[in-house]
């Protein structure tokens, strides 16, 4: 089990991100907003992901970059909790919606709750 976040796991295409925003489903758990879409892709790992921190919420680029770094780290360490419970391939966009920076532990707890909500929504949609 490799705890990495490689280039092939990142969602970078503007067209794919636009498609995700237009057609994706949403799950919210403060301070995160997850937009996901079930779509085939050729990466080895079942999830392609992107992270975003809006400029209107966090003004300074230094702080936005720090929050994105923390979000990537939380995802990197917990991504196998998501991948072992899904059978299809997904594209994710995680958006940080708070007005100020939270500490790592509270962000991680919120992220894990967001993942639980996602998995329950997926299970309900499959039935």
What pLDDT, on the 0 to 100 scale, is given for residue 1? 59
89 is a domain residue: yes
* Domains contained in the chain, number: 1
8 A C-beta contact, residue 43 and residue 110: no
Pick the more confident residue, 4 or 41: 4
1 is a domain residue: no
pLDDT averaged over every residue in the chain = 91
Tell me the average pLDDT across 71-90.
Answer: 89
The secondary structure of the chain in percent helix, strand, coil, rounded to multiples of 5, reads 45, 20, 35
User: Tell me: the pLDDT tens digits for 27-58?
Assistant: 999 999 999 999 887 777 888 999 999 999 99
Which CATH number belongs to the domain containing residue 105 in this structure? 3.30.230.10
88 is a domain residue: yes
Residue 118: pLDDT over 80? yes
Full residue range of the structural domain in which residue 84 is found: 7-126
5's CB contacts (< 8 A; 6+ apart) are 72, 75, 76, 79
2 is a domain residue: no
């Amino acid at each position: 089990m490799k705890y990495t976040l490689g280039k092939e796991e990142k969602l970078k295409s503007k067209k794919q991100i636009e498609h995700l925003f237009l057609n994706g489903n949403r799950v919210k758990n403060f301070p995160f907003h997850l937009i996901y879409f079930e779509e085939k892709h050729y990466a080895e790992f079942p999830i392609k992901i992107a992270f975003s921190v809006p400029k209107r919420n966090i003004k300074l680029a230094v702080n936005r970059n720090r929050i994105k770094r923390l979000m990537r780290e939380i995802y990197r360490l917990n991504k196998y909790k998501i991948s072992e419970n899904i059978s299809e391939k997904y594209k994710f966009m995680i958006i940080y919606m708070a007005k100020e920076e939270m500490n790592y532990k509270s962000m991680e707890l919120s992220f894990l709750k967001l993942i639980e909500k996602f998995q329950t929504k997926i299970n309900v949609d499959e039935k």
